[in-house]
């Protein structure tokens, strides 16, 4: 059976005392209609000044659910087959004072609005980006009683921001409460590995999942596990041209990350003539940060990958 769940009432916290809005059978499919992560606060005509004056971070993240799976009990594993995502035509990316990898370098709020056209966006000057929509948050109700902010992920899933949780991926999560209590949202039309400025392309979206219940497996699942289909880890068009690699090493991995992002930003500013704020925004939605080596103790090497194919 296929169910459709509206966004409202939006859910802004983990709380296993929240009653389910919908109970479905194993094997059923649910389309979650999701607000953007701001809970409809950010509008397509907003400016940076609007964002600075009106945005309430306490309403982030706005999730749809919870959905109970009939028969799910603690110790079970819930398999979530990600069937499809459908965006609503716009997204936004912001810089928020005090947040993000380079928080100390960007003290002022900034907002960029993306117009999404099919599977691409041409909103950023001189750039065409391919979309790879996914939900930043897919999670089950936590074992602990009480109310919890949604920012930190955990064994229950949650704010994983794994950009390969795209259509075709199967996500497995351990069940901690009767019914499991599925919540999802924080959908991104695109994101680089790292989501360095604090946002991907934050977008209202419809997310369609099919649920399969694995009762009391012999080896309980310790945390989120996914099976990604045999396809490119990046949009196929990006593989048609070379990649720019920025490489840094440091005993503090975050410092290495900061340096590769600064270098990628400088490259973008020089190439496109945009502001550092805009370059930082672009890095957050397309630059992929990878750990290249951990063996040379205490030094970690981080590589940032920027596809040449995005440049018009």
Sorted by where each begins, the domain ranges of the chain are 2-227, 236-310
Can you give the pTM of this predicted structure? 0.96
Q: Which residues pair with 171 in a beta bridge?
A: 80, 226
Say if CB 191 and CB 234 are below 8 A apart. Answer: no
2-227 CATH, one of 2.40.30.10, 2.40.10.120, 1.10.15.40, 2.60.120.580: 2.60.120.580
State residue 10 phi and psi, 5-degree precision.
-65, 150
For residue 252, count CB atoms less than 10 angstroms from its CB and return exposed for 0-12, middle for 13-18, buried for 19 or more.
exposed
CATH, range 236-310? 3.10.28.20
State residue 121 phi and psi, 5-degree precision.
-140, 135
Task: Tell me the pairing of strands 22-24 and 63-69.
Answer: parallel
The Cα 142–Cα 154 span in angstroms is: 9
Give the chain's largest Cα–Cα span.
Answer: 57
Task: Tell me the pairing of strands 129-130 and 243-250.
Answer: unpaired
For residue 27, count CB atoms less than 10 angstroms from its CB and return exposed for 0-12, middle for 13-18, buried for 19 or more.
exposed
Q: Which residue has the tokens 């069940």?
A: 175
Q: Which residue has the tokens 């065409």?
A: 128
Structure tokens at 114: 């993306």
pLDDT tens, N- to C-terminus, the chain (312 residues) = 999 999 999 999 999 999 999 999 999 999 999 999 999 999 999 999 999 999 999 999 999 999 999 999 999 999 999 999 999 999 999 999 999 999 999 999 999 999 999 999 999 999 999 999 999 999 999 999 999 999 999 999 999 999 999 999 999 999 999 999 999 999 999 999 999 999 999 999 999 999 999 999 999 999 999 999 988 889 999 999 999 999 999 999 999 999 999 999 999 999 999 999 999 999 999 999 999 999 999 999 999 999 999 999
Q: What is the pLDDT of residue 297?
A: 96
* Displacement of CA 225 from its chain's centroid (Å): 16
The Cα 48–Cα 257 span in angstroms is: 26
Q: What is the pLDDT of residue 230?
A: 81
């Amino acid at each position: 059976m296929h169910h459709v769940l509206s966004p409202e009432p939006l859910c802004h916290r983990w709380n296993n005392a929240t009653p389910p809005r919908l109970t479905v059978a194993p094997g059923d499919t649910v389309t979650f209609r999701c607000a953007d992560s701001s809970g409809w606060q950010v509008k397509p005509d907003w400016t940076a000044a609007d964002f600075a004056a009106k945005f309430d971070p306490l309403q982030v993240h706005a999730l749809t659910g919870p959905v109970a799976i009939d028969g799910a009990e603690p110790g079970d594993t819930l398999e979530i087959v990600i069937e499809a995502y459908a965006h609503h035509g716009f997204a936004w990316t912001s810089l928020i004072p005090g947040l993000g990898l380079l928080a100390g370098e960007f003290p002022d709020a900034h907002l960029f609005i993306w117009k999404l056209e099919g599977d691409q966006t041409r909103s950023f000057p001189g750039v065409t980006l391919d979309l790879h929509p996914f939900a930043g948050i897919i999670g089950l109700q936590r074992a602990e009683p009480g109310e919890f902010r949604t920012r930190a992920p955990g064994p229950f899933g949650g704010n994983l921001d794994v950009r390969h949780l795209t259509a075709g991926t199967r996500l497995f999560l351990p069940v901690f409460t009767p019914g499991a209590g599925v919540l999802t949202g924080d959908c991104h039309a695109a994101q680089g590995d790292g989501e360095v400025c604090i946002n991907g392309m934050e977008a209202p979206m419809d997310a369609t999942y099919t649920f399969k219940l694995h009762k009391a497996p012999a080896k309980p699942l310790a945390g989120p596990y996914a099976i990604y289909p045999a396809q490119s880890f990046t949009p196929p068009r990006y593989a048609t041209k070379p990649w720019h690699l920025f490489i840094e090493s440091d005993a503090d991995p975050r410092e290495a990350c900061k340096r590769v992002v600064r270098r990628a930003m400088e490259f973008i500013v020089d190439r496109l003539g945009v502001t550092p704020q805009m370059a930082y925004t672009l890095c957050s939605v397309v630059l992929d940060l990878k750990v290249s080596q951990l063996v040379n103790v205490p030094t970690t090497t981080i590589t940032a990958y920027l596809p040449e194919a995005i440049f018009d």
